[in-house]
Chain A
Amino acid sequence: MKEQPASGTLQLDPSASSVRRRLGFRFEIDPARKESPWWMTIVSVFLALVTCAIFIAANGKSPLVVYEKMFRGAFMTEFGITETLVKAIPLLLCGLGVAIAYRIAVWNIGAEGQFAAGAIGATAVTIYFPDLPMYATIPLMVVFAIVTGGVWGALTALPKMYFQVNELITSLMLNYVALLLLDYLVFGPWKDPKGFNFPGTPMFGAAQSLPVLGDTRLHLGLVFALVIVVLYWFTVKYTRWGYELRLIGANQDAARNAGINIKRHILIVMIASGAVAGIAGMSEVSGVTHRLMYGISPGYGYTAIIVAWIAKLNPFGLVVSSVLFGGLIVGGYSVQTLGLPSSISSMLQGAILFFLIAGNMVSKFRLRRNG
C-alpha cells in the first residue's frame, strides 16, 4: 500500500476548499499517527455488538438476553471456560500462522486448508503406523502435520513467486481442494469399517491421543500453542530473519533495495504459516475429536484471520483475542437453546472486523481548525 500522507496540502479544487473554509474546520489524515489507540478495539467490538443486536431483534429475540446467555455459556461455568480454551487452541495456532504471513503482506487465507492438511497428515500416522508407542506416535504425528501443512502452504507460495499469482485466490482454492481430499478419505479409504457408515476414521487409541488436563477436555495442544507464541515473539523481535520480516512489512521497496530476497521470504513464511496451521489440525484430531472426520473445522481458519487482525499481529495479543473468539464460538452454541442459529457468532465476527478496520482508519484522521 502506497500510503504516505504528506503534511503539505495541494489545492486542486478551489470550490471544495472554500466549502471547508466556511465550515471552519476540516478532517485530514494525521501524518504522525500510525497506530490507533488501544481502546479503539473495544469500541469496535462494542459497535459490532450493537449492529448485530439489530439482526437479533429482527429475529424477535432480546439482544441483551442473547448476549448475556452467550457470555454466561462461554465464560461463567467451568465447562464453558475449558470449552472456550479448547476452541481457542486451534484459533491461536491458525492465527499465529496467518499473522506471520500478514507481517510481510502475504494475504494467506488458506489456514482452513492447511489445518485440514495437518489433520490428514497426523491421521496418516495412526493409519499406517498403528502400533507405535505414545512417545514415538505423538512426535511423529506433529512432524507429519508440519510437513503436510507446510507443503500446503508452499503450494500457495510457489505460484506467487514464479507466476505472480495472487495468493488470496490460490490459498482459498486450495482450502476447497484440501477439504474435498479430507472428505474423500473419511468417506472412502480411511472410513471406520465398524463405524456404522459414520464419515470418520477409526477412533484413535490412547497412544495416539494428546494427554488431557484432569477430567476436562483441555489437552496438550495448549502447550504447543503457547510455545509457538513465545517462539514467534522471539523470532520476530530478536533474530535476523525476524528483522528482515519487519523490514519487508514496513517497506517492501526499501527491503528489496537493501538486498533482501523477498521471494525466498514469501516461501519461508508460507511454509511456516502452513506448518503452524498444520499443528492446529494435528492437535484438534489428536486432542479433541480423536479421529479424522467430516466437518472437523467449523471455520477455524477463517476466524483466525480476524483473531490475528484484532490482535494487530502481536503474539500476546493473539492469546487474548483467540480466547475471546473461542468464547464467541462456544457462546454461539449456547444460544441454540434459545432457538437461534449458532452462525450468530460468525455474523458477529465479520461485523467486528468491519468496525475494526473503520476504527483504525478513523483514528488516523484529525480535526483541524482552518487558520
Chain B
Amino acid sequence: MDLLTQLLVAAISSGTPLLFATLGGILIERSGIMQLGAEGLMLMGAVIACMTYIHTGSLGWTLLAVFVVSAALGLLHSFLTVTLRANQVVSGLAMTLFGSGLSAYLGKSITGTPIPGAVPKINLGFLDDVPIIGDMFAHLDILTWFSFALVIAAHLFIHRTSFGLHLRAIGDNPATADVMGIPVQLFRYGYIIVGSMLIGLAGADLLLIYSPTWIEGMTAGRGWIAVALIIFARWNPIRALFCAYFFGAMDTIGFKIQLIGSAIPSYFLKMIPYIVTILVLMYLGWRSRNKPSGSPEALGVPYIREQRF
C-alpha cells in the first residue's frame, strides 16, 4: 500500500465511529432535540460491545445488546426532554456523566482484554482494479460498508420521503406540524431512540474495529467531536461523511507524523483533533455570520402544546 492509501484507510477506520455518531446526532437534532450525551452513549456502546463479545463471541448478539442498551438510554433522554421538557443541555450532560461513570464501573473487570478480529472484512472483487481507492476497498469491514449504506439511506430518508419531511417539520416548527396532525412527541421519541442506537453503534464500532480493547474513557472526546461535526456538516448526512473522514484523518495524522520520526513531542500531535475542532467551528461561525447555519429552527426549545405564541 502506498502512503495515500494508508492515510485513506486510517481516516476511514477512525472516521467511521464519528460518522455513526454524527448520523445519529443529525437524526435527533433534526427533530429539534439537542443531543449532548453522545460521549456517554458511545462509552456505553463500547463497554456493552466489549462485555457481550467476550461472553458470547458473536457479532450479532453484540450489536443487539448495544442497540438495546442505547435505545434504553435514548428512551431516558426522550422522557426527560420531550415529556418532562427538561433543559436539553443539562440532560445531555447528565447522560455523558452517567455514561462515563457506569461504563467505567461495568468495564472494570474487562479492562485490557483484547478482542481482535470481531468484525469480518468484505472484499468486493470487482472494485480491486480501481486506482488508489481499489486497494482501500479491500480493507473495509461490514460496519464500514453499513455506514456507507446508512449515509445514503439517511440522505434519501430526510430529503426524499414524506417521513423525512415530517422530521424536518417537527424540528423547524413543531406547533405547525402538530396542527397538521403529525404526532410531534411520538416522532421525537422515535428519532431520539433510533439516533441514540446509532451513537451506541459508534461506540461499538470504535471498540470492535479501531482499538479493540476496553479502556476507561476510551472515546477521549470523540462524542463531543461528533457534536461539533453535526454543526460542521450542517445537519446533512452526505456532508457528515466527508467531515467525519476529515476528522478521522486529523486523528491519525499525528500518529503518522510520529512514525516518520518528527521532533515534535507526541503530546502536541495528540492535541491536533481538539484544536482543529475549535478552529473549524470558529471558521464556520465567521463564514455564516450573515446567513443561517442550517440548524433546525426549534432546536433546543421544548415544545409545549398548551403554550400560546
Residues of A within 8 A of B (CB): 1-6, 8-10, 12-13, 28-29, 55, 107, 109, 159, 162-166, 168-170, 172-177, 180-181, 183-184, 187-188, 302, 305-306, 309, 341, 343-351, 353-354, 357-358, 360-362
Task: Select which of A1, A165, A176, A177 is within 8 A of B87 by beta carbon.
Answer: A1
Q: Are A180 and B101 in contact, with the CB atoms below 8 A?
A: no
CB of B209 closer than 8 Å to a CB of A? no
Partner of A177, one of B90, B98, B274, B306: B274
Binds A, one of B20-28, B56-64, B120-128, B281-289: B281-289
Query: Does B191 touch A at the CB level, under 8 Å?
Result: no
Within 8 A of A (CB), among B260-280: 265, 267-268, 270-271, 274-275, 277-278
Contact, CB under 8 Å: A1 / B277:
no
Q: A5-B307, A29-B304, A184-B268 are in contact. Are A159 and B281 (CB under 8 A)?
A: yes
Partner of A357, one of B94, B274, B284: B94
B265 touches A28 (CB 8 A): no
Establish whether residues B89 and A168, one from each chain, have CB atoms under 8 Å apart when the complex forms. yes
Question: How far, in whole Å, are A13 and B178 apart by their CA atoms in the complex?
Answer: 9
CA distance A357 to B86 in the complex (A): 7
Is A350 within 8 A of B85, CB to CB? no
Residues of B within 8 A of A361 (CB): 80, 84-86
**Nearest CB in chain B: distance from A165 CB, A:** 4
Q: How far is the CA of A55 from the CA of B106 in the complex (A)?
A: 9
> Are B286 and A163 neighbours in the complex by a CB distance under 8 Å?
yes
Q: Which residues of B contact A (CB under 8 A)?
A: 36, 40, 76, 79-80, 84-87, 89-91, 93-95, 97-102, 104-106, 108, 178-179, 216, 220-221, 224-225, 227-228, 231, 265, 267-268, 270-271, 274-275, 277-278, 281-286, 289, 300-302, 304-308
Task: For A358, give its contact among B84, B100, B302 (CB under 8 Å).
Answer: B84
How many angstroms from the CA of A314 to the CA of B106 in the assembled complex? 34
Is the pair A347, B105 in contact by a Cβ cutoff of 8 Å?
Answer: yes
Contact of A169 among B98, B227, B300 (CB under 8 A): B227
Additional A-B contacts beyond A302-B97, A357-B87 (8; CB < 8 A): A2-B301, A162-B285, A177-B275, A305-B97, A346-B101, A346-B104, A350-B98, A361-B80
Task: Judge whether B85 and A3 touch: CB under 8 Å.
Answer: yes
Cβ–Cβ contact A165 & B98, under 8 A: no
User: Is A357 a contact of B105 with CB atoms below 8 Å?
Assistant: no
Chain A residue numbers with a CB within 8 Å of B305 are 10, 12-13
* Chain A residues near B306 (CB-CB < 8 A): 5-6, 8-10, 28-29
Q: Is A173 within 8 A of B274, CB to CB?
A: yes
16 contacts between A and B (CB under 8 A): A3-B85, A4-B307, A6-B308, A8-B306, A10-B306, A163-B286, A164-B289, A165-B285, A168-B227, A169-B228, A343-B104, A344-B105, A358-B79, A358-B84, A358-B86, A361-B84
B contact face: mostly helix, strand, loop, or mixed:
helix
Contact indicator B108/A343 (Cβ below 8 Å): yes
B97 close to A349 (CB less than 8 A): yes
Q: How far is the CB of B288 from chain A (nearest CB, A)?
A: 8
Chain A residues within 8 Å of B76, by CB = 354
A302: nearest chain-B partner, CB-CB: B97
With a cutoff of 8 Å between Cβ atoms, the chain A residues found around residue B302 in the complex are: 1, 3
Q: Are the C-beta atoms of A159 and B89 separated by less than 8 Å?
A: no
Nearest to B111 among chain A residues (CB) is: A341
Q: Closest A-chain residue to B97, C-beta based? A: A350
Partner of A166 from B40, B84, B231 at Cβ < 8 Å: B231
Report the Cα distance A73→B221, complex, angstroms.
33
Q: With a CB–CB cut-off of 8 A, which chain B residues contact A164?
A: 285, 289
Q: Are A177 and B271 in contact (CB under 8 A)?
A: yes
Q: A346–B101 Cα gap in the complex (Å)? A: 5
Q: A107 near B89 (CB under 8 angstroms)?
A: yes
| CB within 8 Å for A1 and B300 given contacts A346-B97, A354-B76 | yes
CB-CB < 8 A to B90: which residues of A?
309, 353, 357
A166-B301 contact, Cβ under 8 Å, with A173-B221, A184-B267, A343-B216: no
> In the bound complex, how far is the Cα of B247 from the Cα of A173, in angstroms?
14
Pairs A-B, 8 closest by C-beta atoms: A350-B98, A163-B285, A346-B101, A343-B104, A184-B267, A341-B108, A347-B101, A361-B84
Q: Is the CB of B275 within 8 A of A173?
A: yes
Q: Would B278 and A350 count as touching, CB distance under 8 A?
A: no
A5-B304, A165-B285 known; A176 vs B102 contact (CB < 8 Å): no
